[in-house]
Structure 1
Amino acid sequence: MRKILPLEEGDFYLSPEGYKVFTAQYHLKRGYCCESGCRHCPYGYNRKTNKQD
């Protein structure tokens, strides 16, 4: 079971459409790549090739 992390300032922002967008800060704090093609993925995951750089 994965641990739920409390959100802190700088972990996300709201897009113009109102969606919550997680930042690289949050992804690094989480500690793993979810392979969803996140906009700010610090792990280098490429959704098109299904690989991490």
Structure 2
Amino acid sequence: MEKEARIEAAHAAAVAAGQAGYLDPDTGLFVLTAAFLAKRGTCCTRGCRHCPYTDGV
């Protein structure tokens, strides 16, 4: 549960700051925010963590 809380906090901070994404607190990989992905207009079908068009599949 701790991992999910860190991810959600990083995501919320990036969205609040208007950033396209954030560094995953565990892996250091760059993750796009739901807000950024929504601006794209469609799902890219790559299984983005915060995809607003699917359940993250």
TM-score in terms of structure 1 length: 0.60
Indicate the structure (1 or 2) with the bigger Cα radius of gyration.
Answer: 1
Where in structure 1 do 4 or more consecutive aligned residues deviate above 6 Å?
A: none
Structure 2 gaps, min length 5: 1-16
Give the % identical residues.
Answer: 45
**Structure showing the higher strand proportion among its residues:** 1
Structure 1 gaps, min length 5: 1-7, 48-53
Two-structure CA RMSD over aligned residues (Å): 2.1
TM-score in terms of structure 2 length: 0.57
